[in-house]
Structure 1
Amino acid sequence: MTHIASKDIHITCADQCKLAASIFHPKGELKGAVMIGPATGIKRQFYGNFARYLAEHGYGVITFDNRGIGGSLHGHVKQSDVTLQCWGEKDMPAVLQQLQKSFPDCRYHLIGHSAGGQLVGLMPNANELSSMFNFASSSGCLRNMKLHHQVKAHFFMNFFIPVTNRLFGYTKSHWVGMGEPLPKKVAKQWQTWCNGSGYVKMAFGTSVHKHLYHHLELPAMWLNATDDFIANDKNVADMLKVFTQMSAQTKTLNARDYNLNEIGHMKFFSQKSKQLWPYATKWLDEH
């Protein structure tokens, strides 16, 4: 197996915010370049093995921490003024520009995990992507979940988030295994969007005034798993309705079909699920 080394870099956004990122250079012919859009509160290191796999198969890759998360948190999280929306409007466009600079004259792709795929329509340069491959990206609408899952989701969204925001000035999501601590405005916006239908659609005409959700026509694959109560089939369909022009394919994976104990919302990117990763490289090779 080819050894793929990564290099830590910083990406400067248009508003001068600096993002921590890692870049993976393939050896041999460059097939294309990929930015991996992380899930809410998930650091870039989580995607390291998957990024190396893509690089082994000829793709340049950039992973990154959204502002307010991991290496892109500047100061204490309770002082952060970051919103979920600015990840799509400011962070992701800057990462795509860095991807184009680092790997010129090739095709560019987004592999989105949860929020990393949902927010693509906020990118003003999203039309420069050749394709998108998402895992566990959906509206996260609470009412589309089974009742016993709704109870857990309502507890986190409508009790835990507002209470910890009020008590600590940020959301202690790490206390309940939900990634890194979240800036309060990120968590508040996440709460609002998941309580409605269409996720970011909840903000159209209020905080979101410019977007490409009604214009993106890029080919896209949306994968989810049967044991993911968040990105279930109903919520994937709910999110896809926001992309009115997108040419999207969907596929639902069952862990038992691959002799895996679970896939859920996170485990697609785990080394233990490496047998699933050819879904991504096959898509990239074809687009």
Structure 2
Amino acid sequence: MIAPATGIKRQFYANFANYLANNGYGVITFDNRGIGGSSIGPVTQNSASLQRWGEKDMPAVLDCLQQEFPQTKYHLVGHSAGGQLIGLMHNAMAISSMFNFACSSGQLTNMKLSYLIQAHFFMNFFIPLSNAMFGHTKSQWLGMGEPLPKSVAKQWQQWCNGQGYVKTAFGKTVHQHCYNELTLPSLWVCGG
């Protein structure tokens, strides 16, 4: 299961998915709701959120993978949010291992100074302004993937400004998760 980064379409992962498939792996890529092929209607009317991606989209994709390839081991390759949201999946315990790349804590205060200014501009100026002016975030203008539904971008901004990314929403909007129970082998690769 190749889980995408925020605003990144499944086509971005096509070459990697084809490589895995040609080497005997069953592979599934997907667009989260509100992105690419999973976008229904105008982006301004889409109620998707990061939380829904983790609670609804990712579990549904894993269910499809399990139906297509029953009685085997399942592995998650997560890119950024695609790895960060695993603990919101009600069926995450079915995943045997996880490999995440460019999947940091998301917290702005943990970022290097060289990237921190850009990240603050995007999160705390561009997202609110774009949401107010257009009803969604025109992230494509800054090379940050596809246009983002308003609630995705707003939640991304809140989590990156909070303490512990998804943990920021614990007890507020996130009432069930399995982050504390996950013990699967994992490898995290982040560029410098």
TM-score w.r.t. length of structure 1: 0.66
Once the two structures are TM-superposed, the CA of residue 151 in structure 1 deviates from its matched residue by 1.2
- Does 2:21 match 1:55? yes
Structural mapping, 1:107-146, within 5 Å: 107-146=73-112
Structure 1 partner of 2:174: 208
Alpha-carbon separation, structure 1, partners of 2:52 and 2:162: 20
User: Which of 19, 44, 53 lines up with 2:10 in the alignment?
Assistant: 44
Structure 2 partner of 1:263: none
Q: Give the secondary structure class of the aligned counterpart of 1:218.
A: coil
Structure 2 partner of 1:71: 37
Q: Structure 1: which 5+ residue stretches go unaligned?
A: 1-34, 227-287
Alpha-carbon separation, structure 2, partners of 1:54 and 1:156: 34
Structure 2 partner of 1:95: 61
User: Which of 157, 161, 165 lines up with 1:191 in the alignment?
Assistant: 157
Q: Which has the higher strand share?
A: 1
Alpha-carbon separation, structure 2, partners of 1:151 and 1:217: 35
Alpha-carbon separation, structure 1, partners of 2:140 and 2:168: 26
Q: Which has the higher contact order (CA 8 A, sep 6+)?
A: 2
Alpha-carbon separation, structure 2, partners of 1:146 and 1:99: 37
Deviations 1:208-262 (A, max 9, x none): 0000001111111111112xxxxxxxxxxxxxxxxxxxxxxxxxxxxxxxxxxxx
Q: Is the 8 A contact 1:139 1:197 kept in 2?
A: no
AA aligned to 2:186 is A
Q: Which has the higher helix share?
A: 2
Alpha-carbon separation, structure 1, partners of 2:98 and 2:112: 28
Deviations 1:109-166 (A, max 9, x none): 1100000000000000000111111111112211122333211111100000000000
Structure 1 partner of 2:130: 164
Pairwise CA RMSD of aligned residues?
A: 0.8
Alpha-carbon separation, structure 1, partners of 2:56 and 2:72: 23
Larger radius of gyration, structure 1 or 2? 1
Pick closer, same or farther for the CA change 1:67–1:190 going to 2, 3 Å.
same
Alpha-carbon separation, structure 2, partners of 1:131 and 1:54: 16
Once the two structures are TM-superposed, the CA of residue 197 in structure 1 deviates from its matched residue by 2.4
Alpha-carbon separation, structure 2, partners of 1:146 and 1:219: 27
Structural mapping, 1:204-283, within 5 Å: 204-226=170-192
- Does 2:146 match 1:176? no
Once the two structures are TM-superposed, the CA of residue 77 in structure 1 deviates from its matched residue by 0.1
- Does 2:46 match 1:80? yes
Alpha-carbon separation, structure 2, partners of 1:137 and 1:147: 18
AA aligned to 2:88 is L
Return structure 1 stretches of 4+ with deviation > 3 angstroms.
Answer: none
